[in-house]
Amino acid sequence: MRFGSSTLEVAPHATAGLRLLARCLTANQLGHGVVRIPHTSIAPIDSATTIAIRHTLIQHQLRCVIHAPLVAPHTIISQLTDYADFLRHIEADDGVIICHMPSASPHTWQALQAIPAHIRTYLAIEITNQSIDNLCASGIPIIFDWLHYHIQSPWPYQPIIAATQCYHTWGSRRPLLHISSPDTADYGDRHKHIHGRHSAYLDWATLMHFVGQLSARVGDTFDIEVEASAGARAVAHFLQQCHHHTPPHWQHLWQSQLSEGVRQCIS
Ligand SMILES: [Zn+2]
């Protein structure tokens, strides 16, 4: 026997919670394991949707990532607290709050040291234009971002060594890194490359070697967020190209990722 009710108290419009649930389900359908939550959609979630989101995260082993916008140092703690509370509420235990610290002034470092433990559990800093040695000394996990590093092109230019250094800042947390390629499109009257802008797709030849060489040093237990304006199609294109052109000893890196969703995405 089954029961139902002719009326249910379901919100008539798509709520922030339902949008997040849809995002998680879509990510899973595409074969992704990392879901970015737009910081603008951090809002209270009703209890039924909260349960559905928690269930989806556990069932499909999805990791939530929030990219914090740049904020003034005096508001950073309250904002990060909101994000940490949100991740805790949806039980995203391995969730990541990503911060950029472009100024890296002594004041910023002091503020970082004072960040309470309930935020630190989730916090990571993405490399922007600071020295990697300074960042790694902060005691907070560092996200290696291929494009930020590549655009600075510090000498010696050693992206794999730098990424390995960042990898080891994660301790018991699973490392996360970003890959993307510089946008070289011609934007009409500006006739120049937009500094630091992500391209639609990935330069798979370069990034296949980057990921392969990194995994040869640290193993393949890390997460990658692709930052490309073609979104899921860029991920699918990257995986497909790597799968077709990779040396045999890297084949396992892409094989398991080529889900039916990825195949549909590029067909
Ligand atoms: Zn990034």
Q: Would 192 be classed as within a structural domain?
A: yes
pLDDT digits (tens, 9 = 90+) for 142-186: 999 999 999 888 899 999 999 999 999 999 999 999 999 988 766
Give per-residue pLDDT as tens, 135-154. Answer: 888 889 999 999 999 988 88
Same domain, 193 and 104: no
> Which residue has better confidence, 230 or 195?
230
* Pairwise CA distance, residues 222 & 258, whole Å: 17
| Predicted pLDDT at 185 | 67
Selection from 39-43, 70-74, 187-191 with the highest mean pLDDT: 39-43
Give residue 70 CA to ligand 1 midpoint distance, Å.
13
234 lies in the same domain as 180 = yes
Within 13 Å, how many C-alpha atoms sit on residue 12's CB side?
A: 0
Position 204 in a domain: yes
Centre of ligand 1 from the C-alpha of residue 243, in Å: 24
**Distance between CA 251 and CA 255 in Å, rounded?**
6
pLDDT in tens, 59-118: 999 999 999 887 776 778 888 999 999 999 999 999 999 988 766 667 767 777 788 999
Task: Please give the share of the chain, as a percent, with pLDDT higher than 70.
Answer: 92
**At residue 256, does pLDDT exceed 90?**
no
CA of 249 to the centre of ligand 1 (A): 28
**DSSP character string of 109-161:** HHHHHT--HHHHTTEEEE-SSS-HHHHHTTSS-EEEEHHHHHHH--SS--HHH
Q: How many angstroms does the Cα of residue 184 sit away from the middle of ligand 1?
A: 17
Give residue 47 CA to ligand 1 midpoint distance, Å.
32
| Dist. CA 23 → ligand 1 center (Å) | 20
Domain end residue (candidates: 79, 99, 126): 126
Is residue 212 a part of any domain in this protein? yes
- Do 94 and 151 fall within a single domain? no
Is pTM beyond 0.85 here? yes
Distance CA 68, CA 70 (A): 7
Higher pLDDT, 204 or 182: 204
**How remote is the CA of residue 2 from the centroid of ligand 1, in Å?**
49
Number of structural domains (the chain) is: 2
What's phi and psi for 257, nearest 5 deg? -85, -15
The CATH number linked to 96 is 3.20.20.150
Which one of 67, 95, 126 terminates a domain? 126
Kindly state whether residue 174 falls inside one of the protein's structural domains. Answer: yes
The verdict on 151 and 260 lying in the same domain is yes
Q: Are residues 48 and 97 in the same domain?
A: yes
Give me ligand 1 centre to Cα 180, in Å: 8
Residue at 10 is within a domain: no
* Residue 213, domain extent: 129-267
- The confidence band for 187, taking pLDDT boundaries of 50, 70 and 90, is low
**Boundary (domain end) residue, out of 91, 126, 161:** 126
Output the CA 116–ligand 1 centroid distance in Å. 24
C-alpha 46 – ligand 1 centre gap (Å):
31
* Spacing, Cα 51 to ligand 1 middle (Å): 30
Residues 140 and 260 in one domain: yes
Q: How far is the CA of 126 from the centre of ligand 1 (A)?
A: 7
